[in-house]
């Protein structure tokens, strides 16, 4: 048996203010401060800007932006790692990305969304890397909204060492059921926990459907919010656990039979 590592996860379910970077960044800082004792706090997709796909120059941020450095200071002072969605001003254009800051304040490479949805394809460049990010001494596979619906994405991240999946989302009606099924499925088929952080409220003609949750490796829900409430949920999960009686879904694959 491999001894597990227990992580305390908090997922935030709120409605960011559209295009109001200062307010949203301040809210992330408040969330970090309030989550003392949490190892990792997760905010929804594009939380720093709101769900926007136009006039991105006004809301895009490079990694060396002083406001991001300020969030890193918050992480360092509380010992809490952060995953939060933002518009990254990157090489050649803009990315729908996840800001990743470790609990010692180290700013990691952003996790860029590889599978864009709808009008996102006209606004953002697609990421071209699927690699876990190391936070809290744990390899974490980050799934950005639509990526949750592709089993290949999570399985690739697991094959590359991820022992925890985190799915941040701006999922909207009528797709609530899709993500409820997909989040439990991704956890179960890989036998690792998954934290799902979705937003609520309305923006850019969309009504977002919340239902954030933390799911154990057997697909069961440890903690959850409904489709409209604002708040957070916290749960402890065991990562890196390999024990007798647990089906090794990765080890029992037969890739020679599969098509890519």
pLDDT of residue 2: 46
Q: Is 75 a catalytic residue?
A: no
As a 3-state breakdown, the chain gives helix, strand, coil percent values, each rounded to 5, of: 25, 30, 45
Catalytic residue among 14, 45, 120, 147: 45
What residues does each domain of the chain span? 7-235
- What is the pLDDT at residue 240? 84
Quick one: 249 exposed, middle or buried, by C-beta within 10 A (0-12, 13-18, 19+)? middle
What pLDDT is recorded for position 247? 80
Q: Are 91 and 60 in contact (CB under 8 A)?
A: no
Cα–Cα distance, 138 to 238 (Å, whole number)? 11
Q: What is the pLDDT of residue 1?
A: 42
Bridge partner list, 86: 97
pLDDT value of position 236: 97
Q: What is the C-alpha to C-alpha distance for residues 86 and 48, in angstroms, rounded to an integer?
A: 5
- Residue 234 forms beta bridges with which residues? 10
Question: What's the confidence (pLDDT) of residue 243?
Answer: 55
C-alpha 112/C-alpha 124 separation (Å) is 10
Q: Where are the beta strands (DSSP E) in the chain?
A: 5-13, 40-42, 81-90, 93-101, 111-112, 133-135, 138-144, 164-169, 194-198, 202-203, 206-207, 213-215, 221-224, 231-239
Catalytic residue among 74, 75, 113, 209: 113
Of the candidates 67, 65, 54, the residue with the CA atom closest to the CA atom of residue 24? 67
pLDDT in tens, the chain (260 residues): 445 689 999 999 999 999 999 999 999 999 999 998 999 999 999 999 999 999 999 999 999 999 999 999 999 999 999 999 999 999 999 999 999 999 999 999 999 999 999 999 999 999 999 999 999 999 999 999 999 999 999 999 999 999 999 999 999 999 999 999 999 999 999 999 999 999 999 999 999 999 999 999 999 999 999 999 999 999 999 998 665 567 888 889 999 999 87
Q: Is the peptide bond before 130 cis (omega within 30 degrees of 0)?
A: no
How many whole angstroms separate alpha carbon 98 and alpha carbon 215? 20
CATH architecture designation of domain 7-235: 4-Layer Sandwich (3.60)
**pLDDT value at residue 248:** 85
Active site residue 136: no
Given the residues 75, 136, 145, 209, select the one marked as catalytic: 145
Instruction: Confirm whether 145 is a catalytic residue.
Output: yes
């Amino acid at each position: 048996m491999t001894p597990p590592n227990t992580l305390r996860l908090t997922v935030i379910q709120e409605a960011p203010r559209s295009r109001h970077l200062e307010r949203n960044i301040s809210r992330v800082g408040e969330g970090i401060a309030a989550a003392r004792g949490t190892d990792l706090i997760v905010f929804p997709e594009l939380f720093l800007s709101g769900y926007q796909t136009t006039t991105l120059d006004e809301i895009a941020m490079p990694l060396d932006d002083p406001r991001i450095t300020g969030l890193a200071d918050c992480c360092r002072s509380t010992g809490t790692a952060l995953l939060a969605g933002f518009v990254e001003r990157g090489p050649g254009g803009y990315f729908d990305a996840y800001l990743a800051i470790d609990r010692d304040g180290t700013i990691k490479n952003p996790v860029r969304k590889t599978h864009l949805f709808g009008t996102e394809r006209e606004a953002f460049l697609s990421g071209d890397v699927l690699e876990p990010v190391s936070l809290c001494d744990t390899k974490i596979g980050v799934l950005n909204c639509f990526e949750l619906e592709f089993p290949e994405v999570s399985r690739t991240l697991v094959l590359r060492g991820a022992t925890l999946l985190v799915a941040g989302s701006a999922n909207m009606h009528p797709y609530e059921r899709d993500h409820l099924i997909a989040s439990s499925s991704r956890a179960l088929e890989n036998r690792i926990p998954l934290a799902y952080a979705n937003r609520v409220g309305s923006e850019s003609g969309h009504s977002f459907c919340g239902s954030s949750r933390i799911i154990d490796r057997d697909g069961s829900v440890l903690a959850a919010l409904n489709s409209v409430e604002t708040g957070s949920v916290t749960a402890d999960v065991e990562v890196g656990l390999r024990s007798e009686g647990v089906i090794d879904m990765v080890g029992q694959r037969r890739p020679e039979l599969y098509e890519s």
